[in-house]
Amino acid sequence: MPSRLSAVWLVLLRALFLLALLVIIPLLSGCARSRPTGVQAVSGTSPETIENKGSDTIVNVALAWAEDYVREYPEVRISVTGGGSGTGIAAMINGTVDIANASRQMKPEEINAAEANGISPKEFIIAQDAIAVVVNPSNPVDKLTIQQISDIYTGKITNWEQLGGEDRPIVLLSRESNSGTYVYFLENVIRMGEDSDLLFAPDTLLMPSSEGISAEVRQNPNAIGYDGLGYVTPDQKMVAIAESADGPYVLPSVDAVNDGSYPISRPLYMYTAGEPSGQIKAYLDWILTDGQQLVLELGFVPLR
Amino acid sequence: MNVRVAGVERIVKRLSGLRRVRRAGGSEFAIETLIRVLGFSTIGFVLLIFLFLLREGIPVFFETTLDNLFGQQWYPTFDLLGTLPILLGSMLVTVTAIAIALPLGVLTAVFIREVAPEWTRDVLKPIIEVLAGIPSVVLGFFGMTVLAPFLRESLGIPTGLTAFTGALLLAYMALPTIISVAEDALDAVPKGYRDAALAMGATEWQTIWRVVLPAARSGVVTAVMLGMGRAIGETMAVMMVTGNAARMPLSLDSLFRPIRTMTATIAAEMGEVAQGSVHYHALFGVGIILFVLTFGINLMAASAILKKRRRGGLR
């Protein structure tokens, strides 16, 4: 009967459609992350427009810079987008942005790709960022060595008792593997800057956002996490860190980063395609001078 | 949903009557063709998506070894692309979610269709439809801030961000689908079946359990399959509450440990991956696995209906 047949077709089509959506949605949600969080409505073709894109760590401070700069120099328009260090650098290599933000240095492959495109990227260090190791405020452990942190994150130490705390299992929290912070932490803390093949333990929880980490650290006395100093909220406890067991244990702070006593801090970068000129140069010069006071307000460490 | 199908059938019948009256007419042909083209284009889109997935995903098989692809380590930053932990993670969460949602959903459908008085049904149905409309990110946030801490404290587990937390949310999300499709299936059981059973002296419960539910079995299977399709493809809520740790869920307590699903992996990593890299192709490879799985599940749902029809049953 034709009516029955049409019912079957409807179900089949509905199933196919649903399935199509199931595939598209994960892909879209991936793309959606690179949508602009922009400051200015930008026409795009105006010669006064500076396109700025990259690291999610830097995006807040980049937005603040753009807002202030545009207020001072209304003839310039600046569009700021997040998406991650890799996204920004790729866009700079493709020539679609003027300035790429990165919380890590460009990889050799990226530099090669840029040179293949006839671009020699220029690097600017625009601020410093301390990586704070955080635990729940009720956790009695308040100091760790880098070696201990490495052992914790590789799964060698699994109970807080082994570190002088309570008898509780350790729950490891990390940012997602696409984050520049993840790579920095792996190379400089877990691998302690050495050439090894240590990895995060498979049990490590990869949180999609800084909020994910702070929410878990806030409510779970078992948790340990790490994040940029600017993202640490008052309801998490920062751990003092020493390079070796007898060395001084230092809490992360702007001063400790500046005098070099806090061991895990990193520079934040901006990259331009070749030597900057005109408005882009003026903007970068402003960031490196007047712009530095905003860095402090957002919890990062200004350049000396 | 079946009510809508019945409505369409009625319109089709009415139109086919009209057609007999004025058979000729170019506009009729044009509209029919248009509808047919639109219908087939849906299939076309699915095919195109699949071809795109294949084009982007196939290269990974040539860029790295099979050992690596089906290995147990997912560290994409270092080109360790073992999909086994995330595949098993997805399955663990989905199967658990369905195990929770199946009895709840089918029994709710039975209650709404067979037991509840008219006015209760009129209240419940719209409420269930509203459930389906809650954005998954809202559920995810609820799961992260309320459900996870609650589970951690009440079950005494190290962290509340576990496969089980994800399964609970997914069960909740699959429920509206399961309830409404199962309810439609019960609705399609002819009144004569119930009348006959009751006339033979069966109690209400016996009628439901022995006559109505078996008669609606294929529809219930479809409901579960569609619910499962909903669950395996869900991304946001799962990403927020399962902890995203790519560990092998093989030990007995895996349900109460963090896991990482395929959807969360794609969503979390696609934004940052360099286009054309091994990792990029691997993510599309994961997309292919996901596509094949959902396609298989939906095919099973559709074939359950077809089989039933061939046997001369209902629907």
Tens of pLDDT, residues A278-295: 899 999 999 999 999 898
pLDDT at residue A82 in the model: 84
pTM of the predicted protein model? 0.76
Q: Binning pLDDT at 50, 70 and 90, where does residue B90 land?
A: very high
Is the pLDDT score of B171 beyond 70?
Answer: yes
Amino acid at B175: L
Is the pLDDT score of A35 beyond 80?
Answer: no
Residues B111 and B8 in one domain: no
Structural domain that includes position B149? 66-311
Residues with Cβ within 8 Å of A259's Cβ and at least 6 positions away in sequence, in order, are none
Helices (H), chain B: 2-21, 26-57, 60-63, 66-69, 84-110, 118-133, 136-142, 148-155, 163-187, 191-199, 204-206, 213-215, 217-233, 236-241, 262-270, 278-310
Angle of the B278-310 helix axis to the B26-57 helix axis, nearest 10: 130
Residues B181 and B244 in one domain: yes
**Chain A interface includes B167 (CB < 8 A):** no
Name the residue with higher pLDDT: A189 or B17. A189
Q: Which residues of A touch B51 (CB under 8 A)?
A: none
Residues B52 and B107 in one domain: no
Per-residue pLDDT tens digits for B183-201? 999 999 999 999 999 999 9
As a whole number, the mean pLDDT across chain A is 83
**Chain A interface includes B158 (CB < 8 A):** yes
Residues B151 and B231 in one domain: yes
Contact predicate A220/B150, CB 8 Å: no
Contact predicate B164/B252, CB 8 Å: no
Chain B residue whose CA is closest to A26: B267
CA dist., res. B149 & res. B204, Å (int): 42
pLDDT at residue B7 in the model: 60
- Residue B303, number of CB atoms within 10 A of its CB: 15
Selected for mutation to probe chain B from A10, A18, A19 (highest B CB count within 10 Å) is: A19
Contact predicate A76/A70, CB 8 Å: yes
Residues of chain B with pLDDT > 70, as a percent, come to 89
pLDDT at residue B273 in the model: 75
Residue with structure tokens 């190791």? Answer: A133
Closest alpha carbon to A181 in A57, A87, A90? A57
Question: Partners of A78 in the beta sheet?
Answer: A50
CA dist., res. A31 & res. A25, Å (int): 10
Per-residue pLDDT tens digits for A124-146? 999 998 999 999 999 999 999 99
Residues B165 and B200 in one domain: yes
pLDDT at residue A21 in the model: 53
Q: Binning pLDDT at 50, 70 and 90, where does residue B41 land?
A: very high
Chain A residue whose CA is closest to B263: A26
Final residue of a structural domain among B40, B57, B74: B57
Query: Is beta strand A223-228 parallel, antiparallel or unpaired with respect to A121-135?
Result: antiparallel
Average pLDDT over every residue of B96-112: 94
**Chain B interface includes A85 (CB < 8 A):** yes
CA distance A136 to chain B (A): 13
Residues B190 and B303 in one domain: yes
Helices (H), A186-247: 210-219
CA distance A190 to chain B (A): 15
**Chain A interface includes B68 (CB < 8 A):** no
Residues B180 and B206 in one domain: yes
- Here the tokens at position B189 are 């059981």
Is the pLDDT score of A154 beyond 90?
Answer: yes
- Here the tokens at position A62 are 């980049």
Residues B229 and B283 in one domain: yes
Final residue of a structural domain among B57, B84, B101: B57
Contact predicate A263/A248, CB 8 Å: no
Residues B234 and B307 in one domain: yes
3-state helix, strand, coil in chain A (%, to 5): 40, 20, 40
Residues of chain B with pLDDT > 90, as a percent, come to 55
Residues B17 and B72 in one domain: no
Cα–chain center distance at A258: 21
Question: Partners of A272 in the beta sheet?
Answer: A99, A122
Residues B93 and B184 in one domain: yes
pLDDT at residue A5 in the model: 46
Per-residue pLDDT tens digits for B265-310? 999 888 767 777 888 999 999 999 999 998 888 888 888 777 766 5
Final residue of a structural domain among B57, B87, B102: B57
Q: Binning pLDDT at 50, 70 and 90, where does residue B315 land?
A: very low
Residues B162 and B87 in one domain: yes
CA distance B62 to chain A (A): 20
Per-residue pLDDT tens digits for B206-224? 999 999 999 998 888 888 8
Selected for mutation to probe chain A from B75, B159, B226, B315 (highest A CB count within 10 Å) is: B159
Per-residue pLDDT tens digits for A193-222? 888 889 999 999 998 877 888 889 999 999
> Rounded to 5 degrees, what are φ and ψ at A174?
-140, 160
pLDDT at residue A151 in the model: 95
Average pLDDT over every residue of B169-195: 92
Cα–chain center distance at B54: 23
**How many distinct structural domains can be found in chain B?**
2
Residues with Cβ within 8 Å of B100's Cβ and at least 6 positions away in sequence, in order, are B167, B168, B171
As a whole number, the mean pLDDT across chain B is 87
Q: Binning pLDDT at 50, 70 and 90, where does residue A55 land?
A: confident
Name the residue with higher pLDDT: A210 or A243. A243
Helices (H), A73-206: 85-93, 108-116, 146-153, 180-185
Q: Binning pLDDT at 50, 70 and 90, where does residue A11 land?
A: low
Q: Which residues of A touch B35 (CB under 8 A)?
A: none
CA dist., res. A270 & res. A288, Å (int): 11
Residues with Cβ within 8 Å of B268's Cβ and at least 6 positions away in sequence, in order, are A176, A178, A206, A208, B239, B244
Contact predicate B101/B175, CB 8 Å: yes
- Here the tokens at position B172 are 């909740």
Contact predicate B241/B140, CB 8 Å: yes
Q: Which residues of A touch B12 (CB under 8 A)?
A: 2-3, 6
Q: Which helix (H) or strand (E) holds B253?
A: none
Terminal Cα-to-Cα distance of chain B (whole angstroms): 13
Q: What is the DSSP letter of A249?
A: P
Average pLDDT over every residue of A15-34: 50
Amino acid at B220: V
Residues of chain A with pLDDT > 70, as a percent, come to 84
Please report, for the domain that includes residue B209, its CATH number: 1.10.3720.10
- Here the tokens at position B150 are 């609650």
